[in-house]
Structure 1
Amino acid sequence: MAERPTTNWRRAVAKEAAELAAGTLDADCACMVELFPEELLLETDAVLDVFEAELTTLTKGDAAQIFAAMERVVLALNAVKEAHDECAFETDEREQLCAYIDESLTEQGVDVAALTAKCGLGRRELTDQWRDW
Protein backbone atom coordinates (compact mmCIF):
# COMPACT_ATOMS: atom_id res chain seq x y z
CA MET A 1 0.00 0.00 0.00
CA ALA A 2 1.14 3.53 -0.73
CA GLU A 3 2.76 5.19 2.24
CA ARG A 4 0.40 7.51 4.01
CA PRO A 5 1.47 11.11 4.31
CA THR A 6 0.76 10.88 8.03
CA THR A 7 3.54 8.31 8.36
CA ASN A 8 5.97 10.82 6.88
CA TRP A 9 4.63 13.60 9.10
CA ARG A 10 5.00 11.47 12.24
CA ARG A 11 8.60 10.72 11.27
CA ALA A 12 9.27 14.46 10.97
CA VAL A 13 7.76 15.09 14.42
CA ALA A 14 9.84 12.28 15.95
CA LYS A 15 13.03 13.45 14.25
CA GLU A 16 12.53 16.97 15.51
CA ALA A 17 11.81 15.71 19.04
CA ALA A 18 15.03 13.67 18.95
CA GLU A 19 17.01 16.69 17.77
CA LEU A 20 15.53 18.83 20.55
CA ALA A 21 16.33 16.15 23.13
CA ALA A 22 19.90 15.85 21.83
CA GLY A 23 20.33 19.61 21.89
CA THR A 24 21.10 19.77 18.17
CA LEU A 25 18.03 21.88 17.42
CA ASP A 26 17.11 25.14 19.09
CA ALA A 27 13.59 25.12 20.53
CA ASP A 28 12.86 28.38 18.69
CA CYS A 29 13.35 26.53 15.41
CA ALA A 30 11.02 23.64 16.25
CA CYS A 31 7.72 23.63 14.38
CA MET A 32 6.72 20.05 13.59
CA VAL A 33 4.43 19.56 16.60
CA GLU A 34 2.61 22.76 15.64
CA LEU A 35 2.34 21.73 12.00
CA PHE A 36 1.27 18.18 12.79
CA PRO A 37 -0.59 17.99 16.10
CA GLU A 38 -1.62 14.46 17.06
CA GLU A 39 -5.32 15.30 16.65
CA LEU A 40 -4.71 16.30 13.02
CA LEU A 41 -2.76 13.10 12.37
CA LEU A 42 -5.47 10.94 13.95
CA GLU A 43 -8.27 12.65 12.03
CA THR A 44 -6.37 12.38 8.75
CA ASP A 45 -5.63 8.70 9.40
CA ALA A 46 -9.32 8.06 10.10
CA VAL A 47 -10.20 9.54 6.69
CA LEU A 48 -7.50 7.47 4.99
CA ASP A 49 -8.70 4.32 6.79
CA VAL A 50 -12.13 4.74 5.21
CA PHE A 51 -10.62 5.48 1.80
CA GLU A 52 -8.36 2.41 1.93
CA ALA A 53 -11.28 0.19 2.91
CA GLU A 54 -13.34 1.58 0.06
CA LEU A 55 -10.55 1.03 -2.46
CA THR A 56 -10.89 -2.73 -2.09
CA THR A 57 -14.52 -2.53 -3.28
CA LEU A 58 -13.91 -0.47 -6.42
CA THR A 59 -14.48 -1.86 -9.88
CA LYS A 60 -11.50 -0.82 -12.01
CA GLY A 61 -13.47 0.30 -15.04
CA ASP A 62 -16.28 2.06 -13.19
CA ALA A 63 -15.31 5.73 -13.48
CA ALA A 64 -18.38 6.94 -11.59
CA GLN A 65 -17.60 4.66 -8.65
CA ILE A 66 -13.94 5.69 -8.62
CA PHE A 67 -14.75 9.41 -8.80
CA ALA A 68 -17.32 9.01 -6.02
CA ALA A 69 -14.65 7.44 -3.78
CA MET A 70 -12.24 10.27 -4.58
CA GLU A 71 -14.91 12.85 -3.87
CA ARG A 72 -15.66 11.29 -0.47
CA VAL A 73 -12.00 11.21 0.61
CA VAL A 74 -11.35 14.76 -0.59
CA LEU A 75 -14.47 16.15 1.10
CA ALA A 76 -13.53 14.36 4.32
CA LEU A 77 -10.04 15.89 4.15
CA ASN A 78 -11.67 19.28 3.53
CA ALA A 79 -13.56 18.78 6.80
CA VAL A 80 -10.31 17.96 8.62
CA LYS A 81 -8.76 21.14 7.26
CA GLU A 82 -11.79 23.17 8.30
CA ALA A 83 -11.71 21.68 11.81
CA HIS A 84 -8.13 22.91 12.13
CA ASP A 85 -8.82 26.57 11.32
CA GLU A 86 -8.15 26.07 7.60
CA CYS A 87 -4.45 25.50 8.41
CA ALA A 88 -4.17 21.73 8.28
CA PHE A 89 -2.44 21.13 4.96
CA GLU A 90 0.21 23.36 3.42
CA THR A 91 1.61 22.96 -0.11
CA ASP A 92 3.89 19.99 0.65
CA GLU A 93 1.13 18.21 2.58
CA ARG A 94 -1.39 18.80 -0.23
CA GLU A 95 1.04 17.35 -2.76
CA GLN A 96 1.66 14.31 -0.54
CA LEU A 97 -2.07 13.71 -0.09
CA CYS A 98 -2.74 13.97 -3.83
CA ALA A 99 0.16 11.62 -4.60
CA TYR A 100 -1.13 9.17 -1.99
CA ILE A 101 -4.61 9.13 -3.54
CA ASP A 102 -3.14 8.64 -7.02
CA GLU A 103 -0.75 5.88 -5.87
CA SER A 104 -3.48 4.11 -3.90
CA LEU A 105 -5.80 4.05 -6.90
CA THR A 106 -2.97 2.85 -9.14
CA GLU A 107 -2.18 0.02 -6.73
CA GLN A 108 -5.82 -1.07 -7.03
CA GLY A 109 -5.39 -1.34 -10.79
CA VAL A 110 -6.94 2.00 -11.75
CA ASP A 111 -5.25 3.63 -14.74
CA VAL A 112 -5.38 7.15 -13.32
CA ALA A 113 -3.91 8.80 -16.42
CA ALA A 114 -6.51 7.18 -18.68
CA LEU A 115 -9.32 7.91 -16.23
CA THR A 116 -8.50 11.59 -15.97
CA ALA A 117 -7.86 11.94 -19.72
CA LYS A 118 -11.23 10.34 -20.44
CA CYS A 119 -12.82 13.09 -18.34
CA GLY A 120 -10.82 15.88 -19.98
CA LEU A 121 -8.57 16.34 -16.94
CA GLY A 122 -4.83 16.26 -16.47
CA ARG A 123 -3.56 13.65 -14.06
CA ARG A 124 -2.64 16.36 -11.52
CA GLU A 125 -6.25 17.57 -11.58
CA LEU A 126 -7.54 14.34 -10.07
CA THR A 127 -8.89 15.92 -6.87
CA ASP A 128 -9.26 19.56 -7.92
CA GLN A 129 -13.03 19.72 -8.39
CA TRP A 130 -13.67 18.98 -4.69
CA ARG A 131 -10.48 20.06 -2.97
CA ASP A 132 -10.35 23.06 -0.64
CA TRP A 133 -6.95 22.16 0.80
Structure 2
Amino acid sequence: MAIRPSARWRARVDEEATELATGARDPSDAYLSELFPESLLAATDGALHVFESEVGTLRDWDDKQVFEAIKRVVLALNEINEDHDGAGYETEEREELCLYIDQALTERGTDVAALASRRGISRTEITDDWRDW
Protein backbone atom coordinates (compact mmCIF):
# COMPACT_ATOMS: atom_id res chain seq x y z
CA MET A 1 0.00 0.00 0.00
CA ALA A 2 1.26 3.44 -0.93
CA ILE A 3 2.38 5.39 2.09
CA ARG A 4 1.00 8.89 2.27
CA PRO A 5 3.72 11.51 1.94
CA SER A 6 2.25 13.24 4.98
CA ALA A 7 2.97 10.12 7.06
CA ARG A 8 6.62 10.15 5.95
CA TRP A 9 6.90 13.87 6.66
CA ARG A 10 5.40 13.40 10.13
CA ALA A 11 7.88 10.61 10.85
CA ARG A 12 10.76 12.93 9.89
CA VAL A 13 9.42 15.67 12.18
CA ASP A 14 9.08 13.17 15.04
CA GLU A 15 12.59 11.84 14.45
CA GLU A 16 13.99 15.36 14.54
CA ALA A 17 12.11 16.09 17.78
CA THR A 18 13.57 12.95 19.34
CA GLU A 19 17.06 13.91 18.23
CA LEU A 20 16.61 17.37 19.72
CA ALA A 21 15.36 15.91 22.99
CA THR A 22 18.30 13.54 23.27
CA GLY A 23 20.87 16.11 22.20
CA ALA A 24 21.70 14.19 19.03
CA ARG A 25 20.75 17.22 16.91
CA ASP A 26 21.80 20.79 17.44
CA PRO A 27 18.80 23.16 17.64
CA SER A 28 20.36 25.33 14.94
CA ASP A 29 20.03 22.34 12.58
CA ALA A 30 16.34 21.76 13.35
CA TYR A 31 13.92 22.94 10.70
CA LEU A 32 11.45 20.16 9.96
CA SER A 33 8.73 21.32 12.34
CA GLU A 34 8.74 24.64 10.49
CA LEU A 35 8.85 23.00 7.07
CA PHE A 36 6.03 20.60 8.01
CA PRO A 37 3.75 22.31 10.54
CA GLU A 38 0.99 20.19 12.05
CA SER A 39 -1.63 22.15 10.11
CA LEU A 40 0.02 21.14 6.81
CA LEU A 41 0.43 17.52 7.85
CA ALA A 42 -3.14 17.15 9.08
CA ALA A 43 -4.71 18.88 6.08
CA THR A 44 -2.61 16.92 3.58
CA ASP A 45 -3.36 13.67 5.36
CA GLY A 46 -7.08 14.47 5.28
CA ALA A 47 -7.08 15.29 1.56
CA LEU A 48 -5.19 12.11 0.73
CA HIS A 49 -7.52 10.05 2.92
CA VAL A 50 -10.53 11.38 1.00
CA PHE A 51 -8.76 10.54 -2.28
CA GLU A 52 -7.96 7.01 -1.06
CA SER A 53 -11.57 6.48 -0.06
CA GLU A 54 -12.81 7.72 -3.39
CA VAL A 55 -10.46 5.68 -5.54
CA GLY A 56 -11.09 2.70 -3.29
CA THR A 57 -14.47 2.47 -4.98
CA LEU A 58 -12.92 2.33 -8.46
CA ARG A 59 -14.17 -0.63 -10.36
CA ASP A 60 -15.57 0.24 -13.75
CA TRP A 61 -14.80 3.93 -13.72
CA ASP A 62 -14.17 5.54 -17.04
CA ASP A 63 -11.26 7.89 -17.69
CA LYS A 64 -13.38 10.96 -17.01
CA GLN A 65 -14.28 9.72 -13.53
CA VAL A 66 -10.66 8.89 -12.69
CA PHE A 67 -9.51 12.32 -13.81
CA GLU A 68 -12.30 13.92 -11.77
CA ALA A 69 -10.93 12.15 -8.67
CA ILE A 70 -7.44 13.36 -9.52
CA LYS A 71 -8.76 16.87 -10.05
CA ARG A 72 -10.54 16.90 -6.67
CA VAL A 73 -7.44 15.86 -4.71
CA VAL A 74 -5.18 18.27 -6.60
CA LEU A 75 -7.57 21.17 -5.99
CA ALA A 76 -7.70 20.26 -2.30
CA LEU A 77 -3.90 20.19 -2.18
CA ASN A 78 -3.79 23.55 -4.00
CA GLU A 79 -5.95 25.03 -1.25
CA ILE A 80 -3.77 23.54 1.48
CA ASN A 81 -0.66 24.90 -0.19
CA GLU A 82 -2.26 28.33 -0.49
CA ASP A 83 -3.28 28.20 3.19
CA HIS A 84 0.44 27.83 3.91
CA ASP A 85 1.44 30.93 1.96
CA GLY A 86 2.05 28.99 -1.24
CA ALA A 87 5.04 27.29 0.37
CA GLY A 88 3.51 24.13 1.79
CA TYR A 89 4.90 21.89 -0.91
CA GLU A 90 8.38 22.38 -2.25
CA THR A 91 9.91 20.42 -5.14
CA GLU A 92 10.53 17.17 -3.26
CA GLU A 93 7.07 17.23 -1.67
CA ARG A 94 5.43 17.92 -5.04
CA GLU A 95 7.16 14.90 -6.53
CA GLU A 96 6.12 12.74 -3.58
CA LEU A 97 2.48 13.84 -3.88
CA CYS A 98 2.37 13.15 -7.61
CA LEU A 99 3.98 9.74 -7.15
CA TYR A 100 1.53 8.94 -4.37
CA ILE A 101 -1.46 9.78 -6.57
CA ASP A 102 -0.07 7.52 -9.29
CA GLN A 103 0.64 4.68 -6.83
CA ALA A 104 -2.76 4.92 -5.17
CA LEU A 105 -4.48 4.65 -8.55
CA THR A 106 -2.21 1.81 -9.67
CA GLU A 107 -2.84 -0.18 -6.49
CA ARG A 108 -6.56 0.05 -7.14
CA GLY A 109 -6.23 -1.33 -10.65
CA THR A 110 -5.87 1.76 -12.81
CA ASP A 111 -3.32 1.50 -15.60
CA VAL A 112 -2.03 5.05 -15.14
CA ALA A 113 0.27 4.94 -18.18
CA ALA A 114 -2.62 3.89 -20.42
CA LEU A 115 -4.94 6.43 -18.78
CA ALA A 116 -2.47 9.22 -19.47
CA SER A 117 -1.73 7.98 -22.98
CA ARG A 118 -5.41 8.09 -23.91
CA ARG A 119 -5.32 11.77 -22.95
CA GLY A 120 -2.14 12.39 -24.94
CA ILE A 121 0.05 13.03 -21.88
CA SER A 122 2.65 11.12 -19.87
CA ARG A 123 1.81 9.58 -16.54
CA THR A 124 3.88 12.28 -14.82
CA GLU A 125 1.48 14.89 -16.20
CA ILE A 126 -1.82 13.56 -14.82
CA THR A 127 -2.04 16.32 -12.21
CA ASP A 128 -0.75 19.18 -14.36
CA ASP A 129 -4.11 20.59 -15.55
CA TRP A 130 -5.06 21.60 -12.01
CA ARG A 131 -1.84 21.71 -10.00
CA ASP A 132 -0.66 25.07 -8.66
CA TRP A 133 1.92 23.70 -6.23
Same-fold status (TM-score > 0.5) = yes
Aligned to 1:17: 17
Rounded to whole Å, the distance in 2 between the matches of 1:61 and 1:83 is 32
Secondary structure in 2 aligned to 1:12? helix
Q: Is the 8 A contact 1:40 1:80 kept in 2?
A: yes
Q: Is the 8 A contact 1:113 1:122 kept in 2?
A: yes
Aligned to 1:65: 65
Please list the CA deviations of residues 58-113 of structure 1 after superposition, one character each: whole Å capped at 9, or x if unmatched.
24450000000000000000000001110100111111100110000001100000
Aligned to 2:120: 120
Q: Is the 8 A contact 2:7 2:45 kept in 1?
A: no
Rounded to whole Å, the distance in 2 between the matches of 1:92 and 1:60 is 33
TM superposition shift of 1:25? 1.1
Rounded to whole Å, the distance in 1 between the matches of 2:60 and 2:87 is 34
For 2:41, give the aligned amino acid: L
Rounded to whole Å, the distance in 1 between the matches of 2:10 and 2:56 is 26
Rounded to whole Å, the distance in 2 between the matches of 1:117 and 1:15 is 40
| Alignment of 1:54 onto 2:54 | yes
Percent identity (aligned)? 55
Aligned to 1:94: 94
Q: Is the 8 A contact 1:61 1:110 kept in 2?
A: no
Aligned to 2:110: 110
* TM-score, with structure 1 as normaliser: 0.96
Q: Is the 8 A contact 1:13 1:36 kept in 2?
A: yes
Q: Is the 8 A contact 2:51 2:73 kept in 1?
A: yes
Q: Is the 8 A contact 2:47 2:77 kept in 1?
A: yes
Gaps of 5+ in 1: none
Rounded to whole Å, the distance in 2 between the matches of 1:86 and 1:61 is 33
Root mean square deviation, CA, Å: 1.0
- Extract structure 1 runs of 4+ deviating beyond 3 A: none
* TM-score, with structure 2 as normaliser: 0.96
